[in-house]
A and B are shown apart, each in its own frame.
Chain A
Amino acid sequence: MTDVTGALAPPRFLGVHRPTRRRSLLLRASVPLALLLVWQLSSVLGLLSPQVLAAPSEVIGAVRELASSGQLFDFLLASLRRIAIGVSIGLALGTFLGLLAGVGSLGEQLIDPTMQMYRAVPFLALVPLLLTWFGVDETFKIVLIAASALAPMYAYTYLGVRGVDRKIIEAARGYGVSGVALVREVITPAALPSLLMGVRISLSVSLTGLIAAEQIGTTEGIGYLVALAQQYFRTDYMVLCIVLYAILGLVFDALVRVLEQRAMPWRRESR
């Protein structure tokens, strides 16, 4: 609208209002906190039967109970150990195959079709077969977790390598760089964002693998706790297990974030 008086005025602000950090944190936390409050209130007022869902306070009680017996720590450690070993194997194998398939046309023709088929199979379908091969012990659990992490890691590595700027690869070839050196010096750093995305996705998928693995033949681990809760019909423990899985997921996310910062320092310094 034109100012008929003809006087000059500062331009109206047309930028985006950026909330302060504190305000933003508060807003983000507000909905989950409100949900918790409603949940606790409904339980206290008797609107929510403990048979359906235990109150948050009862869940905290369950944490205390489990922590005092030392089992909370033991179970978490057992699950973390399984996931660490299994995921490491899956990531290593997925990265190796992805690089092999991504770099050369021979590797691509030999590896990619098989891996695409493998990727199409839900890894949970492997459970009966893996049980027959490895029994119900640790080996089975680790193999299942590794199998769950393999497919996404492969897919992201392959995509990342394929997406590397051909011009930079050509420039490196012009300087006589080829083979392993090309992969190490040029392709891997360029594909790193995609590789780390692969790690992130693999870790979250492997949680599903962990749940499946710990349903069978366990005496420790979060999955075992789930089985116990079901057996004794304890909704407080059921909720606790969900919370534990959520915490594991958050820990993995933070881990990858740190990894990203450390592995790609040039992203921080970019202008």
Chain B
Amino acid sequence: MTHAVSLDGVVKAYGDVRVLDGVSLSIPRGQLVALLGPSGTGKTTLLRLLAGFERPDSGEIAVVEPRTIVYQEPRLIEGRRVLRNVLLGQRRDAAAIERARSVLVEVGLAGKERAWPTTLSGGEAQRVALARALSNEPQLLLADEPFAALDALTRLKMHALVDALRVRHDPAIVLVTHDVDEAVRLADRVVLLREGTVAIDELVPAPHPRSSDDPALAALRERLLAALGVEVRRATLA
């Protein structure tokens, strides 16, 4: 099997509202898909279906294992030190501990293994959450607006970190985001949901690492923003 995710005609309704209304999508292994869409179009619902927290009303869902998840908040366990948080859900054998330590080094938190989560800054805590998600070598990483709560500078650093991490780790990634710049900066492919269905599904035409103001991305960026209801006026600097 060469796919990490396969959705076929997935429908999910809450009461009378069909949040997902027949979504079909397959994601190859190792691909980073940015999932965009106006609020309430079912991005998070789709992610929760992939995580197994919800069941679809109809349609087929298949995902690879292992899969892990990162949220907007770090969701660390206050009463466990950083290393133990990273090892959540894993057998704590020597190999796993070694792996957890090296991932912590990769996210720039060497020496923080024994720190308590409450002593970390927001960016550090989110990097622990990222390390936790990567340390058991997932085939699929689900990320629900993972950088939305961070300040702008930290967010830029996290984007660079994602590029760096993808050199060594190659899970398929589903990145839910509101940020079009973030999407075109990081993703191999952008999927835009609108009214419960896939409205735009395109590959991003630029190699990694790239900048979000790469001219090759301008057209895509504009189309995405337009689909989200934002008119962009080109700056007319001669």
Contact = CB atoms under 8 A, between A and B. Distances in A.
B207 interface: no
Interface size class of A (residues with CB under 8 A): 20 to 34
A265 B119 CA distance: 11
A172 B88 CA distance: 7
B68 A174 contact: yes
A168 B118 contact: no
Interface stretch (A67-75, A182-190, A233-241): A182-190
B116 A269 contact: yes
B80 interface: yes
Interface in A168-200: 168, 170-177, 185-186, 189-190, 192
B97 to A, nearest CB: 15
Contact of B118 (A167, A190, A266): A266
A168 B73 CA distance: 10
A174 B69 contact: yes
B117 interface: yes
Contacts of A175: 68-69, 88-90, 132, 136
B57 interface: no
Nearest to A176: B89
B75 A171 contact: yes
B171 to A, nearest CB: 14
B69 A271 contact: no
B118 A185 contact: no
B49 to A, nearest CB: 13
Contact of B77 (A168, A264, A267): A168
Given A174-B53, A266-B118, A271-B119, A186 B73 contact: no
Contacts of A185: 77, 80, 84, 88
Contacts of A174: 51-53, 68-69
Q: Is chain B's binding surface mostly helix, strand, loop or mixed?
A: loop
A37 to B, nearest CB: 46
Interface residues of B, number: 25
A270 interface: yes
Contacts of A269: 115-116, 118-119
Contacts of A264: 79
Nearest to B75: A171
B79 A270 contact: no
B69 A270 contact: no
A189 B75 CA distance: 14
Interface centre among A167, A168, A190, A267 (most CB of B within 10 A): A168
A173 B68 CA distance: 10
Interface in A134-180: 167-168, 170-177
Contacts of B68: 174-175
Interface in B76-130: 76-80, 84, 88-90, 115-119
Contact of A177 (B51, B53, B88): B88
A11 B182 CA distance: 46
A269 B115 CA distance: 9
8 contacts: A168-B75, A175-B69, A176-B66, A177-B88, A185-B77, A186-B88, A266-B79, A270-B118
Given A167-B71, A269-B118, A270-B116, 14 more contacts: A167-B73, A168-B77, A171-B71, A172-B88, A174-B68, A175-B69, A186-B77, A186-B88, A190-B78, A264-B79, A266-B118, A267-B118, A269-B115, A270-B118
Interface of B: 51-53, 66, 68-69, 71, 73, 75-80, 84, 88-90, 115-119, 132, 136
Which 8 A-B pairs give the minimum distances between C-beta atoms? A189-B79, A175-B89, A266-B116, A171-B75, A270-B118, A174-B69, A177-B89, A176-B89
